[in-house]
């Protein structure tokens, strides 16, 4: 009569495995809504007490049945609180508690029997009481769940609509770019992940006819990253609108200095942006500047060789530092420069046994990217980008925006 918890053991182990997953969602649920969910779970699992009475032919005193039902429901409600608000150690406490539910039920009902001497119910009345209580508990729990799901569903639809709007804004702010100048061909594309991210690829034509193409990656995901990405694009274009400086290094250094000054005023303290910019002049000269970005890959057509350019520098907007340098980039006809964000380079896949390394996963990495560029260097830039993105998606699942900037010296 005091047992009735063996059927919960598989559910307990399943809940433990799902604790982290559910916890991330339930932690964001308001307390008032969480209370409705907890009440619904308590009512549903209180059925265990009434079921126990049915198994005993309805002969358990009513007050004892209610105590067992209360303990069973409270135990289930504590599991919801554990996965939503409590530390992981509390889950361990609840696992131990499952082995004590029977003794607790027995101790409470024995104490009630000694203190109040409740009458044993007749079989017919006891069965009717247990069956009616089950019906009432199930109906009340259903009402709680419907209310909880109604509010949660409306919130999910609101978030879905906001996410769709954010993705629309992101596509507007970061369309594919394709330009051709007297000496250069420029192509950029950003494939967003399911989350709203902060990757940005853009090209700005300067008043003197030169171009600046740049790629930026805002740290983090969500609307904050997307909004800061829009602000960075606005700030960069504003800074470059009146730029008529033929000195490529100075122009790029000035751009990065200005962005590093502006961004801290419009962002959260923990956010920042990695940044790579290329200045492509009408006379064929090229320059580059980098701020904590992944390596810049330079395919040299004449030597059939790939150069990897890295610069140790702080990201933009993180610290009040100065001195973001820029350098000349010697590009000959046929040369290609490629910049990719972490969403491409850090895609993970299970490591093959032949890799003979300790890590469980392998990253796509710079070497694989360089190999693809070398293999397809003679193809049009849009086709090279398709080959890269296709290879990356075959390698592993996309978790971040995947953005590419490709520049070829045409003559």
Instruction: Report the Cα 187 to chain-centroid distance in Å.
Output: 28
Tens-digit pLDDT profile for residues 145-165: 999 988 887 877 777 776 777
Whether residue 47 is found in the same domain as residue 193 = no
The average pLDDT across 322-329 equals 92
The average pLDDT across 133-143 equals 96
Token pair listed for 297: 């890959």
* Predicted confidence band of residue 298 (pLDDT cuts 50, 70, 90): very high
pLDDT of residue 384: 98
Domain presence at residue 347? yes
Domain presence at residue 1? no
Sign of the C-alpha dihedral, residues 49, 55, 58, 60? negative
**Euclidean distance between CA atoms 65 and 67, whole angstroms:** 5
Into how many domains does the chain fold? Answer: 2
Whether residue 138 is found in the same domain as residue 25 = yes
* Predicted confidence band of residue 311 (pLDDT cuts 50, 70, 90): confident
Whether residue 88 is found in the same domain as residue 219 = no
**pTM of the predicted model as reported, rounded to 2 decimal places:** 0.67
pLDDT of residue 2: 42
Whether residue 160 is found in the same domain as residue 178 = no
Domain of residue 306, CATH code: 3.60.40.10
Other Cβ atoms closer than 10 A to 89: 8
Domain presence at residue 393? yes
The average pLDDT across 10-38 equals 66
Q: How far apart, in Å, do the first and last CA atoms of the chain sit?
A: 89
Q: Which domain holds residue 90?
A: 6-166
Whether residue 12 is found in the same domain as residue 136 = yes
Tens-digit pLDDT profile for residues 383-411: 999 999 999 999 999 988 899 999 999 99
Vertex 30 angle, CA 29 and 34, to 5°: 70
**Euclidean distance between CA atoms 201 and 276, whole angstroms:** 10
Beta bridge partners of 348: 363
Domain presence at residue 383? yes
**Euclidean distance between CA atoms 336 and 390, whole angstroms:** 19
Domain presence at residue 10? yes
pLDDT of residue 245: 60
Whether residue 195 is found in the same domain as residue 315 = yes
Domain boundary among 122, 145, 166: 166
With a cut of 60, say whether residue 183 has pLDDT above it: yes
Give the chain's radius of gyration (CA, Å): 32
Whether residue 246 is found in the same domain as residue 325 = yes
Whether residue 284 is found in the same domain as residue 182 = yes
Domain boundary among 135, 166, 197: 166
Domain presence at residue 392? yes
> What's the mean pLDDT when you consider all of the chain?
87
pLDDT of residue 4: 44
Cβ within 8 Å of residue 181, ≥6 positions away: 209, 211, 280, 282
The phi, psi pair for 408, rounded to 5°, reads -120, 135
The phi, psi pair for 62, rounded to 5°, reads -55, -45
Tens-digit pLDDT profile for residues 193-234: 866 678 999 999 988 889 999 999 998 777 778 888 889 999
Whether residue 162 is found in the same domain as residue 199 = no
Whether residue 112 is found in the same domain as residue 180 = no
């Amino acid at each position: 009569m005091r047992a009735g918890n063996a059927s919960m053991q598989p559910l307990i182990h399943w809940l433990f495995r799902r604790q982290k997953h559910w916890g991330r969602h339930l932690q964001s649920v308001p307390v008032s809504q969480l209370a409705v969910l907890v009440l619904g779970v308590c009512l549903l699992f209180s059925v265990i007490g009434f079921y126990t009475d049915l198994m005993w032919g309805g002969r358990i005193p009513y007050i004892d049945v209610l105590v067992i039902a209360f303990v069973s429901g409270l135990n289930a409600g504590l599991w919801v609180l554990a996965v939503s608000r409590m530390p992981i150690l509390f889950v361990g406490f609840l696992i131990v508690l499952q082995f004590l539910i029977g003794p607790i039920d027995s101790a409470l009902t024995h104490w009630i029997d000694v203190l109040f001497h409740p009458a044993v119910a007749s079989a017919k009345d006891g069965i009717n009481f247990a069956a009616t209580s089950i019906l009432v508990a199930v109906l009340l729990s259903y009402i709680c769940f419907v209310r909880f799901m109604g509010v949660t569903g409306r919130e999910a639809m609101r978030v879905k609509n906001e996410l769709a709007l954010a993705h629309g804004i992101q596509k507007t702010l970061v369309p594919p770019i394709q330009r051709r100048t007297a000496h250069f061909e420029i192509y950029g594309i950003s494939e967003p992940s399911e989350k709203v991210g902060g990757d940005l690829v853009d090209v700005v034509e300067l008043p003197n006819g030169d171009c600046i193409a740049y790629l930026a990656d805002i740290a983090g995901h969500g609307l904050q990253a997307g909004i800061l990405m829009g602000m960075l694009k606005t700030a960069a274009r504003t800074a470059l609108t009146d730029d008529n400086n033929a000195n490529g290094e100075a122009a790029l250094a000035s751009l990065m200095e200005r962005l590093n000054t502006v961004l801290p005023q419009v962002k959260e303290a923990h956010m920042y942006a990695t940044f790579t910019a290329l200045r492509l002049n009408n006379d064929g000269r090229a320059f580059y500047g980098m701020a904590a970005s992944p390596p810049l890959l330079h395919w040299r057509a004449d030597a059939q060789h790939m150069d990897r350019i890295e610069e140790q520098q702080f990201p933009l907007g993180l610290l009040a530092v100065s001195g973001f340098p820029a350098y000349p980039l010697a590009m000959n006809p046929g040369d290609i420069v490629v910049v990719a964000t972490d969403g491409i380079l850090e895609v993970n896949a299970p490591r093959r046994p032949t890799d003979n390394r300790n890590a469980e996963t392998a990253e796509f990495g710079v070497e694989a990217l360089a190999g693809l560029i070398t293999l397809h260097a003679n193809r049009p830039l849009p086709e090279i980008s398709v080959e890269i993105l296709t290879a990356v998606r075959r390698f592993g699942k996309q978790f971040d925006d995947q953005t590419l900037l490709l520049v070829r010296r045409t003559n």
